[in-house]
């Protein structure tokens, strides 16, 4: 009999405490039982399975790293392990949770007032309120650091926001969206909690995506959208504060990519063990084994890299360039792994029901969001050379 398929070749799980390992296995069992059976159908229909939200809340892993406000106060390492487990079953659901737990809750946790944290974080941890994060604009993607065109202006009634935000995950149904805008008076980037019922706020669903189709992305329009001072994030005063959130979430995307690659590899390996051609399992052919070993080598390199990345994070030593390097390396290697996984499956590799096609498509979006390969490479390049080569 062939050995069981479990792509943890260097036994990273052995580094976890028994409690953390138990949590990993609990998350895995939940995803296998509750999420895996749904995802191909929802992916095909470009729809979100709202029925999973209470079950996800019961799993109690949202906002895992934050202290207080109903959150677990756990390690970044275990948070990463959880992100990889989600990615292994479905990168869309992993992204939904990443936006809620990382981008939206993280903005409030790092940049919000005590009142804002108390109002939003416990409800968001329980997924009773859903959040989104609006940074990218139709004409400004990579250049958000200096180029935001969405404006905010202080008036007697609070702040007036104008502009558009594109690609905003969860925003078609979120209760709040964190909007990043440039202050016309001091030219600095500020952050706001914008509520869905605000009359100046409207969202249109982005249709026709060929990746992460379960994630609902929106095009937001802000038209003289008035936000009270109490909903401005008081500790978001320059783009550096936004970047603090992105540092954490880019590390999370690296872990999610590990999961996506692992899911594709495990499904492909299983397939090659069962599929026979010329009277033998295709896994017995040298050229197929070469693909499998290339996949596993990259996956193992990624797994060990993100492990150390999270150790740095938990030691308080993580820098932007560490997170960017992991995001670039893992999403680039994932693209190679999913494409080989699809290749060893022949025609069935492009059918959703064989559970590799979805990873193949989703890897494309993970590769581009949270900073493209070029932008994250330039962050690393600046740190190792001292030269900023963005413009």
Where does residue 259 rank: exposed (0-12), middle (13-18), buried (19+ CB within 10 A)? buried
The secondary structure of 98-145 as a DSSP string is: IIIIIIIHHHHHHH--HHHHHHHHHHHHTTSS-EEEE---SS-STTHH
Number of helical H runs and strand E runs in the chain: 13, 9
CB nearer to ligand FAD: pick between 120 and 369? 369
Question: Minimum Å distance from CB 133 to ligand FAD?
Answer: 5
Number of residues near ligand FAD (by CB under 6 A):
21
3-state SS, residue 171: coil
Question: Minimum Å distance from CB 247 to ligand FAD?
Answer: 14
279 CB-near residues (< 8 Å, 6+ apart):
none
Nearest of 132, 136, 160 to residue 148 by alpha carbon: 136
Question: Minimum Å distance from CB 180 to ligand FAD?
Answer: 8
CB nearer to ligand FAD: pick between 142 and 198? 142
Please give the Cα distance from 81 to 59 (Å, whole number).
Answer: 14
Binding mask 235-274 for ligand FAD (x = CB under 6 A): ----------------------------------------
Question: Minimum Å distance from CB 7 to ligand FAD?
Answer: 25
Please give the Cα distance from 129 to 120 (Å, whole number).
Answer: 8
Piece of 232-240, 293-301, 352-360, 366-374 that binds ligand FAD (CB under 6 A) = 366-374
- Other beta carbons within 10 Å of 285: 15
Q: Could you say whether residue 381 binds ligand FAD (CB under 6 A)?
A: no
Piece of 51-59, 136-144, 226-234, 253-261 that binds ligand FAD (CB under 6 A) = 136-144
Q: Could you say whether residue 48 binds ligand FAD (CB under 6 A)?
A: no
Please give the Cα distance from 34 to 43 (Å, whole number).
Answer: 15
CB nearer to ligand FAD: pick between 241 and 266? 241
208 CB-near residues (< 8 Å, 6+ apart):
none
CB nearer to ligand FAD: pick between 85 and 370? 370
Question: Minimum Å distance from CB 289 to ligand FAD?
Answer: 34
**Do 59 and 101 touch, CB atoms closer than 8 A?**
no
3-state SS, residue 178: strand
Q: Could you say whether residue 360 binds ligand FAD (CB under 6 A)?
A: no
Question: Rule CB under 6 A: which of 95-124 touch ligand FAD?
Answer: 99
Any idea which residue has 């979006």 for tokens?
365
Residue from 24, 142, 162, 188 in contact with ligand FAD (CB under 6 A):
142
Question: Minimum Å distance from CB 307 to ligand FAD?
Answer: 26
CA atoms within 13 A on the CB side of 357: 15
Residue from 368, 381, 382, 383 in contact with ligand FAD (CB under 6 A):
368
Q: Could you say whether residue 176 binds ligand FAD (CB under 6 A)?
A: no
Q: Could you say whether residue 365 binds ligand FAD (CB under 6 A)?
A: yes
Q: Could you say whether residue 189 binds ligand FAD (CB under 6 A)?
A: no
CB nearer to ligand FAD: pick between 23 and 135? 135
Over 35-59, what HEC string results?
HHHHHHHHHHHCCCCHHHHHHHHHH
**Do 358 and 90 touch, CB atoms closer than 8 A?**
yes
Binding mask 56-95 for ligand FAD (x = CB under 6 A): ----------------------------------------
CB nearer to ligand FAD: pick between 142 and 348? 142
3-state SS, residue 163: strand
Task: Report which residue's Cβ sits closest to ligand FAD.
Answer: 141
Q: Could you say whether residue 9 binds ligand FAD (CB under 6 A)?
A: no
Please give the Cα distance from 70 to 120 (Å, whole number).
Answer: 11
Residues interacting with ligand FAD, by CB under 6 A? Answer: 99, 133-136, 141-142, 167-169, 212, 217, 365, 368-372, 374-375, 390
């Amino acid at each position: 009999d062939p050995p069981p398929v479990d792509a943890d070749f260097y036994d990273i799980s052995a580094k976890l405490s028994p409690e953390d390992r138990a949590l990993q296995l609990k998350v895995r069992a939940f995803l296998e039982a509750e999420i895996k059976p749904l995802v191909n159908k929802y992916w095909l229909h470009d729809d979100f399975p709202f029925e999973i939200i209470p079950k996800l809340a019961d799993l109690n892993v949202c906002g895992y790293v934050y202290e207080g406000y109903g959150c677990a106060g756990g390690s970044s390492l275990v948070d990463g392990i959880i992100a990889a487990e989600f990615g292994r079953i479905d990168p869309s659901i992993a992204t939904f949770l990443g936006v809620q737990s990382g981008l939206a809750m993280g903005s409030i946790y790092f940049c919000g007032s005590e009142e804002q944290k108390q109002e939003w974080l416990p409800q968001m941890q329980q997924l009773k309120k859903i959040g989104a994060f609006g940074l990218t604009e139709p004409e400004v993607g990579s250049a958000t650091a200096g180029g935001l065109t969405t404006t905010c202006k202080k008036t007697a009634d609070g702040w007036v926001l104008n502009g558009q935000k594109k690609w905003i995950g969860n925003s078609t149904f979120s209760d709040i969206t964190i909007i990043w805008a440039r202050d016309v008076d001091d030219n600095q980037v500020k952050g706001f909690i914008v509520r869905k019922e605000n009359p100046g706020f409207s969202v249109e669903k982005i249709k026709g995506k060929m990746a992460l189709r379960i994630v609902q992305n929106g095009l937001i329009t802000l038209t003289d959208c008035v936000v009270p001072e109490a909903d401005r994030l008081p500790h978001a005063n320059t783009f550096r504060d936004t970047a603090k959130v992105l540092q954490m979430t880019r590390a999370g995307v690296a872990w999610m990519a590990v999961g996506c690659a692992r899911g594709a590899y495990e499904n492909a390996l299983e397939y090659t063990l069962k599929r026979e051609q010329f009277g033998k399992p295709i896994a017995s052919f040298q050229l197929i084994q070469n693909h499998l070993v290339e996949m596993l080598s990259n996956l193992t390199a990624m797994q060990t890299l993100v492990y150390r990345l999270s150790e740095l994070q938990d030691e308080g030593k993580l820098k932007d360039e560490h997170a960017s390097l992991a995001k670039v390396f893992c999403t680039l290697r994932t693209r190679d792994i999913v494409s080989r996984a699809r290749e060893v499956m022949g025609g069935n590799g492009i059918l959703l029901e064989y559970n590799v096609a979805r990873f193949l498509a989703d890897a494309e979006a993970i590769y581009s969001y949270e900073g493209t390969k070029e932008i994250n490479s330039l962050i690393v390049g600046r740190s190792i050379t001292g030269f900023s080569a963005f413009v």
